[in-house]
Structure 1
Amino acid sequence: MPYFFGIGLHVFVAIFFAVHAMRNNQGIYWLFILFAFPLLGSVVYFFAIYLPSLRHTRGARVATQAITQFVDPNRALREARANFDRAPTVQHRMRLGEALLDAGDPREALEHFQTAANGPFANDAALLLGLARSQFALGEYTAADATLANLFSVDPRARNQGIPALLYARTLAALSAPGARAAFEQALTCANDVAPRCLFADWLATQPDEADRRRASALYAEIVQDARHWTRLAREHNREWLQRAQTALASGAARS
């Protein structure tokens, strides 16, 4: 019985890889290899095709970044600074600015983005986003608002992208601008994590309307409920927001 089960398992694995081969336009010869030699063919396909393809998925990239950050947290900044010192191009300056932001140094990051913004790349979308992120991190909300307005002017698609949409909502909230609510709602529609939900809930919890505080509580509860079904990677990525939601629910801040 185990013998026949083993044969069946090999065939199922071969079928799985055959489907992968067909969906990814691999050569038809892989089908022959997989079904003529189910065990050996599957092993070869796994290492030759399937495993390398995983490196290009978003989950694999996030996992790789998380591991790198844990093992060598200063690697990205160190490499970005070395590249800039070797060749101080605008691209290397922008990469250094982003690395400085991720490392928690918005002051130096702002200097690099401002310098880059004075050149021919002044209307580059990535540069404007980095500049706005730096300004927001330093509490320069009016400047961040102006930079984001420029970004949306040169690249209207940025309004529907997660990072700039959320940054815009947070900026309007910090300025107590009337468009903050609509901006948070927009950020929710293009989010790829739970940060917009948690930050919107934080903002709603501070509003005088009881309906807003009830919605804040509901958003916190959604985060906690959804977390029960997260993968380990998703839980690690959203740890801060989950903890904030749990704390808010435990303290009853959203209902007070």
Structure 2
Amino acid sequence: MRIFGISLYVIIALLFAVHAVRTQQNMYWLLILFLFPGLGSLVYFFVIYLPTLRQSRGARATTKAFSQLVDPNRAVREARIDFDRAPTVAHRMRLGAALLDAGNPAEALQHYQAAASGPFSSDPALLQGLARALFANGDASATQDTLEKLFAVQPLARQQPEPALLYARALAASGAPGTRAAFETALTCASDAAPRCQYADWLATQGDEADRQRARDLYADIVHDAKHWPRHAREHNSEWLQRAQAALSR
């Protein structure tokens, strides 16, 4: 039993050593882990591994989902309290974003429009939030205009995942020319599977067989890539994976 205990300490130390190398920790951690496998592993867990785990994308998403489940109105409530105490543009924007995330786009739009009527009307973060609120309220044309204003004041935003995809979706919703090019741009700066799936959805509605084949290829790419996604990526892209699988089954 004692030998088994020693082996277990060594195995745990080896696992933490691999983590230390992969995350480029200071090499003295390897010395601590191998000289004192039991105590060293315990110290490494609390000092390095646990904080890293908490900062991971998957952990943040899980924490956010749990908070929304336990207290779904917390973000809106806290943002509203801050805005009531100090009705600044920043607090109004925070409240608008919280309302959007909570599924209240109508009130969110009111706050963004009020913020945009002041001296910060050209603020990139404000314009992006306003565009989100407009699109959530079904105003694709105004969304397009707002994003084009954003791209004028901050050209790099055209290459950022969220505004690039929102612009393509706005063009698609209003049947505006340039939809294809906008989706292609969104693909080049994508951070998840959303642009591929939504571009495929649009292509599938086009009359050309080449477009429908491209749609099938994009759906198939999502399904193929999903085999290699880590857990947090699979959870984040679950909606797009399910839609791609459903489209291919049809």
Relative to the length of structure 2, the TM-score reads 0.89
Moved more, 12-21 or 36-45: 12-21
SS across alignment from 1:193: coil
Q: 1:14–1:176: structure 2 CA closer, same or farther, 3 Å change rule?
A: closer
Quick one: distance in 2 between partners of 1:223 and 1:24? 34
Question: Where does residue 148 of structure 1 map in the other structure?
Answer: 147
Q: Percent identity?
A: 63
Quick one: distance in 1 between partners of 2:16 and 2:231? 28
Counterpart code for 1:225: H
Is 2:188 the partner of 1:196? no
Q: 1:157–1:59: structure 2 CA closer, same or farther, 3 Å change rule?
A: farther
Q: Deviations over 1:219-252 (max 9, x none)?
A: 122222333333443333222222222222223x
Question: Where does residue 41 of structure 1 map in the other structure?
Answer: 40
* Structure 1, unpaired ranges of 5+: 252-256
Q: Deviations over 1:103-149 (max 9, x none)?
A: 11111111101111122221111110010111111121221111101
Q: Show the 5 A alignment for 1:201-220.
A: 201-220=200-219
SS across alignment from 2:55: coil
Quick one: distance in 2 between partners of 1:205 and 1:151? 29
Quick one: distance in 2 between partners of 1:105 and 1:53? 34
Counterpart code for 2:14: F
Q: Show the 5 A alignment for 1:140-179.
A: 140-179=139-178
Question: Where does residue 71 of structure 1 map in the other structure?
Answer: 70
Is 2:102 the partner of 1:103? yes
Question: Where does residue 21 of structure 2 map in the other structure?
Answer: 19
Moved more, 136-145 or 222-231: 222-231
Counterpart code for 2:123: D
Counterpart code for 1:174: A
Offset of residue 7 of structure 1:
5.5
Q: CA RMSD in A?
A: 2.3
Quick one: distance in 1 between partners of 2:26 and 2:118? 44
Counterpart code for 2:124: A
Question: Where does residue 244 of structure 1 map in the other structure?
Answer: 243
